[in-house]
Structure 1
C-alpha cells in the first residue's frame, strides 16, 4: 500500500470518528433542537435539505471569502435554495441535526415523507486540494441515480476536469465517512453533496461566486429527477 493511499485511509478513519463524536455531542444536547417551520402539506412535491453538522460542532472552516464553518455557510445556502423552491411551487424544508443527531434529523425527513433529500456540506483538506463529489448509500435503489445527477451538475457549475471531478462515492454505514448519513432513508432517495473544498481559496471563491447558481441548479436537478423517478 502506497503512503498516499495509507494517509488517505487514515484521514478517512479520523474523519469518520470525528463525525461519530459530533453526532454523540448533538444527541446529548436536546436543548439545541431547532423547531421546523410549518410545512405546506398541500403541495405534492417535497425536497428535504439537511444542513450538515450543528451549531455545537460546525464542521470544517472555510477560508475567505467563505470565512465560515460548514454549518453556518450551508444554513445560508439552504435558505437560498428554499426561497427558489418556494417561488417554483416546491415544498422545501430545512432539517437540522442540532440536539437530535443524524438519526433524529433523518427520522424527521422520513416522517415528512420527502420525495428526495440532499445533505449539504463542503470538503476541507490541506488548502490545496479542490474538487466536487457526491456520497450515496444503498438504503434506496434510486439514491445512486440522484447522486449521479448531482455530480453531473456540480462538474458543470464548477468546470471540474480531471481529478477535480471526484465522482460519486458509495458509502457504507459505520465504515465510510458519511455512510451513516446516506443510509438512513429506505423510501426516499438521498445523497450528500460536497461541491467544493472550502479551505482552498480558488474553490472558496467559486463557492461564493456561484452560490445562487448552485442553489438554482439543485432545484433543477431535483425537478428533473422526480419527473423521471
Structure 2
C-alpha cells in the first residue's frame, strides 16, 4: 500500500483563489472537501493517505516549512498539494507542477494524464497545460521542502466559467477518484 501525504493548499487567513459560479468556493474550502473524499476512498485504491492542512504562520515560508516538517515526520513515499488555478486572463486547463526529480516527474505525469482524461481535454486538444518543473519561484518551496517526491496539482481554472461548469458536472467525488487512480499506478 502506497503511503501518500495530501496537503490542502492555503490556510484560513489566505484561502487562495475564489472560483466563479457554479462552484463559487475558495481553494481552501474546495480542496478541504476534496481531501476528505480522497481520505474516505483511499483504501479502495490500495493507497494510505494522510491529510495535512497549512496553518498561517505569519509568513509563507514558515507556513510551508511547518506543514512539510509534519509531512516528513509521517514519512510518506510521495506528497501532493491540492490547488486550482486562477487568472485575470481567459485561461483554461489542467497542469501539474513537479520538483523535477525522476519520481516527482512520474507522479506528475500520471496525475496530469488523469486530469486530462477526466476533463476530456484530449478531445478538444486544448487545456492540457502539461507537467511543469519548478525549482524556484511560485510553488517551488512546496515542491522542495519535503523529503518525499512532491507535486502540486492545478486541475482547472477557478476563474474560467467553462472550467468551473465542467468541474461541477464532473463532481468532486470523480476528481478524488482521478487523484487516487494516479496514486494507485505509482
Shift of 1:217: 1.6
- Report how far residue 89 of structure 1 moved: 5.4
1:44-81: per-residue Cα shift (whole Å, max 9, x none)? 53221100010100011000111111011100111111
Q: Is the 8 A contact 1:62 1:68 kept in 2?
A: yes
- Tell me the CA shift for residue 185 of structure 1: 2.4
SS in 2 for 1:61: coil
Q: What does residue 104 of structure 2 align with?
A: 143
Question: Contact 2:114/2:181 (CA < 8 Å) preserved in 1?
Answer: no
Q: How does 1:71-82 map to 2 (within 5 A)?
A: 71-82=28-39
Corresponding residue for 1:46?
A: 3
Instruction: Report Cα offsets for 1:90-131 as digits up to 9, x if no partner.
Output: 321110111351111111111101121110000011363110
| Structure 2 length-normalised TM | 0.89
Alpha-carbon distance in structure 2 between the residues aligned to 1:99 and 1:141: 31
Change (3 A) 1:164 1:48: same
Q: Indicate the SS of the match to 2:97.
A: strand
1:212 alignment partner in structure 2? 173
Structure 2: runs of 5 or more not aligned: 58-62
The whole-number CA distance in structure 2 between the counterparts of 1:183 and 1:63 is 31
Q: Quick check: 207-216 or 60-69, which moved more?
A: 207-216
Q: Do structure 1's residue 126 and structure 2's residue 85 form an aligned pair? A: no
Equivalent-residue separation in structure 2 for 1:58 and 1:104 (angstroms): 17
Match of 2:128 in 1: 165
- Asked if structure 2 preserves the Cα contact closer than 8 Å seen for 1:136 and 1:183, the reply is no
Any conservation in 1 of the 2:84–2:154 contact (CA below 8 Å)? yes
Question: d(CA) in 2 for partners of 1:224 and 1:86?
Answer: 14
Q: CA-atom RMSD, angstroms?
A: 1.6
SS across alignment from 1:57: coil
Matched residue, 1:113:
75
Structure 1 residue runs of 4+, over 6 Å off? Answer: none
The alignment status of 1:194 with 2:151, answered yes or no, reads no
- Shift of the 90–144 alpha-carbon distance from structure 1 to 2, 3 Å rule, reads closer
C-alpha separation between the residues in 2 aligned to 1:87 and 1:162? 31
Q: TM-score, normalised by structure 1?
A: 0.73
Q: Which has the higher contact order (CA 8 A, sep 6+)?
A: 2
Please list every run of 5 or more consecutive structure 1 residues that lacks an aligned counterpart in the other structure: 1-43
Larger Rg: 1
Paired residues in the alignment total: 178
